[in-house]
A = this chain, B = another copy of it.
Amino acid sequence: MVTVCRKLKKLADDDPRRVLHSFKVGIALTIVSTLYYVTPVFKGFGTSTIWAVLTVVLILEFTVGGTLTKGLNRAVATLLAAALGMGAHHIAILAGDKGEVILLGFFIFIVAVIATFLRFMPEIKKRYDYGVMIFMLTFSLVGISSFRDHETFMLAYKRLLTIAIGVAIALVVSVLVLPVWAGEELHMLTGANLEKLANFLEGLGALYFGEKVRVDEMKIKALLQSYKSVLNTKATEDSLANLARWEPPHGRFLFCHPWKQYLKISSISRRFACLVEALSSYISRSESQVATELEKHGNIIEACKEICKESMNAMTVMAASIRAMTKLSGSKQHMAAAKEATNRLKISLLEEGLLLRETLQTCTIVSLLLEIVSCAQEIEAAIEELAQLALFESSDQVNAGSGAREKRVADNDEVHDVVIVVLE
């Protein structure tokens, strides 16, 4: 109980807008409830008022873009489906009482199959998934109810009107009460990711190249870990960029703000994070060893230190420039300094007779290849653990029939390829 409370408090502290959003949902629901309490309104809509309540709960999302996308999807899909559903009803009644059931059932079946299949299309799934589902739902509801209640027109009309009211209430609350914009979230996330990468460079400089910093070792270790989340933000960023396009201009985000460019920056940031991940696997494994090796070469250490520091500064400036929405200034000097240090580093490597530039690249490739092999070994161990946990049979049992053949070629060099073929 105490743990849960502590967790909830942390959730609220991490982002107070979460608490705010919860109250926004409460407010919107209270507003829409009044439709029920005010007798003249209720008399007009009857039990259809329920759709307004449903709509508010279903479409009020954390960001304005989310609410807008869902609201538009819901409203447009309902309109289209109601119109088509009524058309289907009018065609179906021409076929007599029994024919009506069969025709309606057939229409609903066809619409359900087509709509469900369309939802697999990436383009639809990304933006209109909710709309297609609502279309299928409304078409079925209107089609089916028309069989029992021949006042289908009124039903469809009321459903449409109450859903529009629900969408309007959700939108007003979402936009007017301290709005959270998806675009701004994306904007801040892109900046935050750059800062995390800068943190790594700071930690690397401190821990590995002995740059003096004012933080203790625990904090350095944390700096070295924070990049990991950058690797997994693609889905969030794609979705935010998608929602941001629906949002009206607000604050400093004008019409046609280049949201795609954020995705480009994020994509390079992820590649950066991948390189950091590769680098991490080296420094974590051989911390002291390589430090000793490097101690002999003061110039190299100095250059690396400089590279870390200047790149870190440049990344911090970039993050700050995105956050403040100002043109880059300052990062150029830092990047130039980092670039200069890389040149110095290459010369030092040459002078110290360590290696040529080309050899350096060869070594890296060779070295990464070695690392990949050890990664493959880890995968092998994990699969063995899985085979044990999930009681996998040994392949001999599975391939009992082909066992003889396997044995016969066991002395052959190509035995492993045979095993692969058998298993496939």
Contact = CB atoms under 8 A, between A and B. Distances in A.
Contact of A277 (B109, B271, B282): B271
A269 interface: yes
A241 interface: no
Interface string A232-276: 101100000000000000000110011001101100111110111
Contact of A423 (B27, B265, B324, B419): B324
B333 A416 contact: yes
A110 B30 CA distance: 10
B361 A19 contact: no
Contacts of A257: 390
B101 A37 contact: yes
A292 to B, nearest CB: 8
A222 interface: no
A399 B325 CA distance: 12
A411 to B, nearest CB: 13
Q: How many copies of this chain are found per oligomer?
A: 2
Contact of A282 (B137, B235, B365): B365
A83 interface: no
A176 interface: no
Given A26-B113, A313-B416, A326-B394, A360 B367 contact: yes
A368 B19 contact: no
A308 B18 CA distance: 50
A144 B330 CA distance: 59
A89 interface: no
B375 A272 contact: yes
A147 interface: yes
A286 interface: yes
B423 A320 contact: yes
Contact of A416 (B104, B281, B282, B330): B330
A172 interface: no
B376 A272 contact: yes
A417 interface: yes
Given A53-B141, A113-B22, A334 B120 contact: no
A50 interface: yes
Interface in A339-388: 339, 342, 345, 349, 354-355, 358-373, 375-380, 382-387
A361 B36 contact: no
Contacts of A420: 313, 316-317, 320, 330
Interface-central residue, A105, A364, A375, A378, by most chain B CB under 10 Å: A364
Nearest to A193: B379
Contacts of A167: none
B423 A22 contact: no
A93 interface: no
A175 interface: no
B358 A289 contact: yes
A402 interface: no
A220 interface: no
A25 B315 CA distance: 50
A113 B395 contact: no
A281 B391 CA distance: 40
Given A117-B19, A376-B311, A420-B313, A342 B365 contact: no
A88 to B, nearest CB: 13
A327 interface: yes
Given A112-B29, A362-B294, A335 B376 contact: yes
A29 to B, nearest CB: 5
12 contacts: A8-B121, A12-B117, A26-B116, A33-B140, A53-B137, A54-B141, A275-B281, A317-B416, A322-B383, A324-B395, A325-B392, A364-B364
8 cross-chain pairs, A with B, having the tightest CB-CB distances, nearest first: A320-B423, A258-B389, A326-B395, A364-B367, A278-B278, A22-B116, A330-B419, A363-B363
